[in-house]
């Protein structure tokens, strides 16, 4: 149902859910899973790109979290954020040490190296014409040596390697957090990775989901489950209006179950459903008539 999708692997950062949310806001389907997924899972999931989250561990302290090596060897674009960048560097032969200057909060970095990930993305220029970014840092360790094949793509005085890239293999690392609003160009950076580097199309939105459901239903596959998924993961009011315009004659819900949606959304959905002469119930089962 989702040919283009992003996989977020979780190392335990407090911002991990936010990464997934930002990707979905770009109109791209995204799933969040633990960092230790298997090679078989990666092959079956077939992501358009992989994002490694931050985390509280230090990569040089004993048996710390690592992803399967196939994450980096499969040819899928990978973006490591904070600890994710450090884990990437350590697994691919780079160096990670305790930072001489720890950064927690706002920082200014210089984008450099003309990488595909950051090229043309900036908040302003310095006197020499170099692009500068306002970002959010939260780290006590840093990459001190990039792996073979990588180049530095961002830096500041406190963190000389604030970003790295192996353009040939589409592997990128950022010491800062693009998923938080304090990184002003964070959305642009994530969009560049997801849409340009990962080539994922923005097709995860209500009309496209409902089109997919109609197609699945006409082929006799997964009607009830698919419909429930659409109304669970889409903007409910928008879904209902779209249903009324285009698909009421193909798929007709017979019950709306109020399972705790926001009051204004409940009222809007019930208004739409009354036009379709669909009963509403506070509790009970959902029955779908398809055909």
pLDDT by position in tens, the chain (length 291): 578 999 999 999 999 999 999 999 999 999 999 999 999 999 999 999 999 999 999 999 888 999 999 999 999 999 999 999 999 999 999 999 998 888 889 999 999 878 999 999 999 999 888 899 999 999 999 999 999 999 999 999 999 999 999 999 999 999 999 999 999 999 999 999 999 999 999 888 766 666 666 666 556 544 444 454 444 444 455 556 665 565 555 555 555 555 555 666 666 666 665 655 555 544 433 344 433
State the Cα–Cα distance between residues 179 and 168, nearest whole angstrom: 25
Distance between CA 257 and CA 284 in Å, rounded?
A: 7
Tokens 């089962």, residue located: 285
CB 52 within 8 A of CB 81: yes
How far apart are alpha carbons 51 and 125 in whole angstroms?
28
Q: How far is CA 216 from the centre of its chain?
A: 26
Cα–Cα dist 270/258, whole Å: 10
What DSSP letter does each residue of 7-38 carry, written as one string? EEEESS-TTHHHHHHHHHHTT-EEEEEETT--
Q: What is the dihedral of CA 150, 155, 158, 162, to 10 degrees?
A: -50
8 A C-beta contact, residue 144 and residue 96: yes
**Cβ-Cβ contacts under 8 Å for 62 (sequence gap 6 or more):** none
- Which ranges in 61-177 belong to alpha helices (H)? 70-73, 83-91
- Sign of the Cα torsion 165, 171, 172, 173 reads negative
Residues labelled as active-site residues: 82, 177, 179
Find where tokens 């090596």 sit: 69
Angstrom CA distances, 12 to 41, 61, 99, 139, 150, stand at 20, 16, 20, 14, 26
Q: Is the pTM of this model over 0.85?
A: no
């Amino acid at each position: 149902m989702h040919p283009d999708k992003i996989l977020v692997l979780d190392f335990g950062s407090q911002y991990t859910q936010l990464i997934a949310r930002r990707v979905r806001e770009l109109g791209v389907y995204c799933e969040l899973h633990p960092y230790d997924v298997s090679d078989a899972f990666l092959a079956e999931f077939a992501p358009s790109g992989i994002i490694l989250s931050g985390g509280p561990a230090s990569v040089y302290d004993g048996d710390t979290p690592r992803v399967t090596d196939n994450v980096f060897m499969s040819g899928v674009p990978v973006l490591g954020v904070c600890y994710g960048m450090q884990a990437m560097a350590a697994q691919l032969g780079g160096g990670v040490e305790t930072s001489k200057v720890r950064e927690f909060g706002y920082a200014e970095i210089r984008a450099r190296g003309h990488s595909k990930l950051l090229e043309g993305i900036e908040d302003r220029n310095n006197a020499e014409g170099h692009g500068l970014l306002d970002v959010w840092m939260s780290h006590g360790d840093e990459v001190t040596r990039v792996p073979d094949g990588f180049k530095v793509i961002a830096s500041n005085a406190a963190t000389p390697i604030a970003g790295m890239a192996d353009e040939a293999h589409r592997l990128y690392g950022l010491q800062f957090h693009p998923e938080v609003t304090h990184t002003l160009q964070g959305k642009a950076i994530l969009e560049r990775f997801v849409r340009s580097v990962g080539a994922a199309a923005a097709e995860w939105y209500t009309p496209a989901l409902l089109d997919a459901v109609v197609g699945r239903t006409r082929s006799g596959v997964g009607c009830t489950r698919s419909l429930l998924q659409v109304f669970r993961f889409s903007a409910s009011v928008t879904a209902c209006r779209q249903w009324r315009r285009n698909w009421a004659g193909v798929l007709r819900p017979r019950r709306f179950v109020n399972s705790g949606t926001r009051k204004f959304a409940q009222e809007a959905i019930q208004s739409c459903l009354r036009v379709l002469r669909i009963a509403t119930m506070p509790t009970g089962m959902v029955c779908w008539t398809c055909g």
